[in-house]
Amino acid sequence: MQRPSEASQAESDSPSALEFNDREMRQKRIIAIDDEPVNLALAEAYLRHDGFERLEFYSDPQTALEVVRNDPPDLILLDLMMPKLDGLNFLKAIETTHNQLLAPVILLTASSDTEHRREALELGGADFLQKPILAEELIPRIRNVLSAQHFKTWLRDQNQRLEQLVQHRTKELERAQGLIIACLARAAEFRDELTGHHNMRVARYAGLIARNVGLPGELVRTIQAAAPLHDIGKVAVPDSILHKPGRLTPEERSLMERHTDWGRSIVEPEKKWGFIITDLTSGDAGQANADLLRVASRIAMSHHERWDGAGYPQGLAGTDIPVEARVVSVADVFDALSCKRPYKDAFPPEKCLAMIREQRGKQFDPDMVDAFEEAIPEVLWIQEILRDEAQ
């Protein structure tokens, strides 16, 4: 049995705008403000006759202003022309941001001055009534304004529910991405179990470097998520080369270096898989997938390029190397130096850091090295908690 979507559930849990009935409307709290007591008495008679009960009347606008500020009503009837504090200044006093008032306002005026009316509308006034007010005009205007306010509140609540749903779905997507990447990275580790937690450490180091060098927060998170796939191409490297304890021959090294291009191909499939990729990267959620794949592809392809142009596979130099690859390059080399491999013993952290510094401006982007040094205390802590059992 198919489970209803969360969006449908959110909609069913929300009150419908059509459920705003007469009984609910008559429970709304209305404040009337006019310096002429006879006008207040007339408004009260009309409102009570129509069934409104929560009514308050003020002939002093200053007193009414304090009441509205402390406890905003559901609607205000406001005389536009009053001594001491007129309707326009009253509207300015209860404005919050972007002409949003503490409560919807219907303005009452005996004047035909269109300039005052225009300014009142610009200040957020909801409607006008010409004095002397008539019941057949007052009651429908009040009902219209209350209904519009109810619908506005309903839309705001719906938007909040949808935003929460989007945030929930985004978190689910991020968790799914993390699981997929962890599976792929683990697949690579099965080919080379001596690397242990290498991919996890490189990801954490890369996140620290990206953060310290000042990259945008979303890119920092994407780099850290994609970094574990930097060596995914090694799944295609023969065991005889991958596990060889001695120095590789030129032919073997050439084959080993192809792991960068193989990694790009794995993360960024060929056109024959395009129909699948189109489905996975469509829509807002799919855009996050597409961004992650692009970053992972650039890292896999270019993390062995060098700042001086002597790297592989393309011989890129300087800022022609993708920034995410320059980040991962430092993290990858540091971790490789500090861990045991078939062809070398682990170096102590001080020696590893000295070797990284020595390659500043040669193998590595100087800014990335500086950012890495800034993170050394955190790097050493990560190295300790993610230490391989064999180390």
Please give the Cα distance from 182 to 197 (Å, whole number).
11
Please give the Cα distance from 346 to 324 (Å, whole number).
26
Greatest Cα-to-Cα distance within the chain, rounded to the nearest angstrom: 104
Residue 249's pLDDT band (boundaries 50, 70, 90)? very high
Q: What are the residue numbers of the active site?
A: 234
Taking only the tens place, the pLDDT of each residue in 203-244 is: 999 999 999 999 999 999 999 999 999 999 988 888 888 878
Sheet of 55-58, strands arranged across? 55-58, 30-33, 75-79, 105-109, 127-130
Taking only the tens place, the pLDDT of each residue in 74-118 is: 999 999 889 889 999 999 999 887 678 889 999 998 877 788 788
- Nearest Cα to Cα of residue 151 among 7, 14, 6: 14
Token representation of residue 352: 């590893």
| DSSP state letters, 33-57 | E-S-HHHHHHHHHHHHHTT---EEE
Residue 10's pLDDT band (boundaries 50, 70, 90)? very low
pTM score, whole prediction: 0.58
- Asked whether the predicted pLDDT for residue 188 surpasses 80, the reply is no
The pLDDT value recorded for residue 337 is 93
Where do the DSSP E strands lie in the chain?
30-33, 55-58, 75-79, 105-109, 127-130
Please give the Cα distance from 223 to 383 (Å, whole number).
19
> For the chain, what percent of residues have pLDDT higher than 90?
51
On average, the pLDDT of the chain sits at 84
* Residue 202 near residue 268 (C-beta atoms within 8 A): no
* Residue 65 near residue 93 (C-beta atoms within 8 A): yes
> For the chain, what percent of residues have pLDDT higher than 70?
85
The pLDDT value recorded for residue 352 is 95
Mean pLDDT of 355-372: 97
- Asked whether the predicted pLDDT for residue 271 surpasses 60, the reply is no
Domains of the chain and any CATH numbers: 16-160 (3.40.50.2300), 170-385 (1.10.3210.10)
Q: Are β-strands 55-58 and 105-109 bridged in parallel, bridged antiparallel, or unpaired?
A: unpaired
Please give the Cα distance from 249 to 50 (Å, whole number).
96
